[in-house]
């Protein structure tokens, strides 16, 4: 069955071919637009349409056997509902002509689903600015801590340098004092030589 045959099949129920064509176009357009946007279109008893992302991969060319790299892409996927599967497999009998084979959704379920979807979108929109604000606040805090760490390192190096200079300053006068005492020994040595000279003269 193609699209024209589908329109003909439902034309009698909708009161004319043009109305049936408009209805089919509207339904297909709504499904395509929602799927492209990343929303899942689920029809109870029939199935669901969704967008699936495929990562980049390597494949084989069936004609040449050559290995080819395939870019990442998104593809539509249809999953049949349990009611549809049961009718195709024969576990359930197909209703007579004129009766609807796909079960209708319970009253209010579509409105609840729409409300839930709207609530999820609103929550996502509210959460996005909050996450951005948190990220902005966190970034300056990290910069401040990094600056504080650098300042602390500089302080510790400065204090270490001061201690080293103070220790060097304390050691330096002691060495000078030792150096001053050394000439005193030389003077005593000269006195002994002078004593020896006087003893020889006698």
What's the confidence (pLDDT) of residue 109?
Answer: 47
What's the confidence (pLDDT) of residue 136?
Answer: 62
Order of all β-strands in the sheet with 47-54:
41-43, 47-54, 73-80
Q: Has residue 115 been placed in a domain? A: yes
- Confidence (pTM): 0.47
Q: Has residue 90 been placed in a domain? A: yes
Q: Has residue 15 been placed in a domain? A: yes
Give the whole-angstrom CA distance, residue 79 versus residue 56. 23
Q: Has residue 195 been placed in a domain? A: no
State the CATH number of the domain containing residue 31: 4.10.520.10
Q: Has residue 77 been placed in a domain? A: yes
The DSSP bridge partners found for residue 73 are 54
What's the confidence (pLDDT) of residue 3?
Answer: 92
Domain containing residue 97: 3-53+73-141
Q: Has residue 103 been placed in a domain? A: yes
Of 91, 92, 115, 111, which Cα lies nearest the Cα of 103? 92
| Residue ranges for the chain with pLDDT beneath 70 | 98, 103-117, 128-162, 164-202
Written as one string, the DSSP assignment of 23-37 is HHHHHHHHHHHHHHT
What's the confidence (pLDDT) of residue 148?
Answer: 62
What's the confidence (pLDDT) of residue 25?
Answer: 94
Q: Has residue 164 been placed in a domain? A: no
What's the confidence (pLDDT) of residue 59?
Answer: 93
162-198 residue pLDDT tens: 676 666 656 555 444 444 444 545 444 454 454 554 5
What's the confidence (pLDDT) of residue 106?
Answer: 52
Report the number of distinct structural domains present in the chain.
Answer: 1
Q: Has residue 122 been placed in a domain? A: yes
What's the confidence (pLDDT) of residue 178?
Answer: 44
What's the confidence (pLDDT) of residue 142?
Answer: 47
């Amino acid at each position: 069955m193609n699209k024209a045959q589908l329109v003909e099949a439902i034309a009698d129920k909708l009161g004319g071919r043009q109305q049936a064509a408009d209805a089919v176009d509207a339904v297909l357009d709504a499904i395509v637009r929602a799927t492209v946007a990343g929303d899942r279109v689920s029809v109870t008893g029939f199935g669901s349409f969704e967008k699936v992302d495929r990562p980049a991969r390597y494949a084989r060319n069936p004609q040449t056997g050559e290995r080819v790299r395939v870019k990442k892409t998104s593809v539509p996927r249809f999953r049949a509902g349990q009611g549809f599967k049961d009718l195709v497999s024969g576990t359930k009998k197909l209703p007579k002509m004129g009766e609807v084979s796909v079960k209708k959704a319970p009253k209010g379920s579509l409105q609840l689903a729409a409300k839930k979807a709207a609530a999820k979108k609103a929550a996502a929109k509210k959460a996005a600015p909050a996450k951005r604000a948190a990220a902005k606040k966190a970034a300056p805090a990290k910069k401040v801590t990094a600056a504080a760490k650098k300042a602390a390192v500089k302080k510790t190096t400065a204090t270490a340098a001061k201690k080293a200079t103070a220790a060097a300053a304390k050691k330096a006068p002691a060495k000078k004092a030792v150096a001053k005492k050394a000439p005193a020994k030389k003077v005593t040595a000269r006195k002994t030589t002078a004593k020896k000279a006087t003893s020889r003269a006698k």
